[in-house]
Amino acid sequence: MKRIACLILVALLSLLSAPLRAQMPHDAIYMPRKTVCIAGMYGESTWTDYWEGTLKRENLNIGRHTTRTAAIMPAIGISNRVNLILNLPYVWTSTSAGNLMGQKGFQDLSAWLKLKAFDYKGLSVNPIVGGSIPVGNYVPDFLPMSIGLQARTVTGRLLLNYTHPHTGLYVTTHGSYIWRSTIRIDRDAYQADNRVYNTDEVSVPNAYDAAVRLGVVRRAWQTEVFAERFACVNGDNIRRNDMPFPTNNMQMTQVGWYGKIQPRNIGLNARVAYVTDGLNAGQSTSYMLGLLFQLNGK
């Protein structure tokens, strides 16, 4: 934490006038070579209704479920066309009713390598590869209180973007396939797919995601609306009135807005999203606020 504070201080002291380009693993914005943007983000995601399989329900023994996340996310310009993004979240869970104990801790460290492979008159093709590894020894199967699933992941993503050179109007779309490893739980037997597995090894289903974004990006600000879809490629449903489990086929569709202002080396970003449909997932409403610091290399 001390090092982060130090970096923030350095950022505050080096208020240069270069344009800011804070970016994400799902956009076509690149940091120039030898610059770093560090985002410190805080977000909350809450739900009262969830889909138990296809059945939408509430649970009076959970009430409102809240997941809070604080994350540090540096984006690094390795070259003008190759960027590296890292993300490390700390997560807390809690409920407004019932007696399930909230969980907290560092979750999974992820890294994304983004490449502008093709760029012509505002149209770009960007292959992206990502990976994540759990950094905390949190319990993955005390759902919905667990802060993560303990799976190691590898994501392959293809992102297309067209940005109108004069107005900054853009459309971005991507599709990804997410490989997820098996995990180990504390128990030596569990039920999934309507049978008992006599082992502590659990298969977490692979997944895909896709999104489409429509927005405007200018030198000092950006605004967009988006729709995102996440779905496992297989998995089982939550049993009637039972708790979720890492083998569940989780799916969700969400819509939202994202915006950013970054007149100088310091900026702000914000995101709100709402799940419109799902399977084995909470109908969450989420928001995120971030503080951006850009550090420019010489």
Partner 1 sequence: MKFNTRTILIAALSVLGLSAVLTSCDKTIEEPQRVAYSPADVDAKAGSWKTYILTAPTDVTVAAPASTSSAAYLAELNDLKTKSASLTREQQEAVVYWGAGAVYRWNEIARELAARYNVPPASNADGKYPVPDAANPLADPKFPFANPPYTARALAYLSVAQYDALVATWHYKYAFKRAAPSKTDASVRVALPVSALPTYPSEDAVVATASYTILKAMFPGEGPFLDAKLAEHRESRLWAGMNVPSDLAAGADLGSQVGAKVMARARTDGMSASNNQTVTAAMIEAAKARGLADIWVSQESPARPPMLPNYGAVSLWNFDRATLVKLRPGPAPLPGSDQFKKELAELQAIQKNQTREQARIANFWADGAGSYTPPGHWARTAADAAHEARFSEVRMARTLALVSTALQDAGVCCWETKFYYYTPRPQQFGVKTSVGLPNFPSYTSGHSTFSGAAAAVLSYVFPERTNEFMAKAQEASVSRIYGMIHFRSDCESGLVCGKNIGAYAVSRGKADGSGL
Query: Residue 166 or residue 298: which is nearer to partner 1 going by CB?
Result: 298
Contact with partner 1 (CB under 8 A) among 66, 173, 203, 223: 203
By CB under 8 A, name the one of 201, 218, 219, 264 that touches partner 1: 201
**Cβ 142 to partner 1, closest distance in Å?**
6
Residue from the set 8, 72, 84, 227 that interacts with partner 1 by CB under 8 A: 84
Residue 185 makes contact with partner 1 by CB under 8 A = yes
Nearest to 258 by CA among 26, 20, 17: 26
Please, are residues 65 and 144 in contact by the beta-carbon 8 Å criterion? yes
Q: Whole-number minimum distance, CB 38 to partner 1, in Å?
A: 12
Note whether 122 binds partner 1 by CB under 8 A.
no
Rounded to whole angstroms, the Cα distance separating 57 from 92 reads 23
Task: Give the type of residue at 169.
Answer: L
User: Of 72, 145, 75, 83, whose CA–CA distance to 109 is shortest?
Assistant: 72
Using CB under 8 A as the criterion, what x/- string covers residues 132-161 for binding partner 1? xx---x-x-xx--------xxxx-------
Q: Which helix (H) or strand (E) holds 81?
A: none
Number of residues that bind partner 1 (CB under 8 A): 65
Indicate if the alpha-carbon torsion angle 205, 206, 212, 215 is positive or negative: positive
Taking the C-alpha atoms of residue 93 and residue 50, their distance in angstroms, rounded to an integer, is 16
Could you say which residues in the range 223-262 bind partner 1, by CB under 8 A? 239-243, 245
Where in 13-72 is the site for partner 1 (CB under 8 A)?
Answer: 14, 33-34, 36, 60-61
CA distance 36 to 129: 19
Q: Site for partner 1 (CB under 8 A): which residue of 18, 189, 220, 225?
A: 189
Q: Is the Cβ–Cβ distance between 272 and 293 less than 8 Å? A: no
Are 117 and 127 a contacting pair, CB within 8 Å? yes
Residues that bind partner 1 in the complex, under the rule CB under 8 A: 10, 14, 33-34, 36, 60-61, 76, 78-79, 84, 86, 97-102, 109, 111, 113, 129-133, 137, 139, 141-142, 151-154, 179-182, 185-191, 194-199, 201-203, 206, 239-243, 245, 295-298
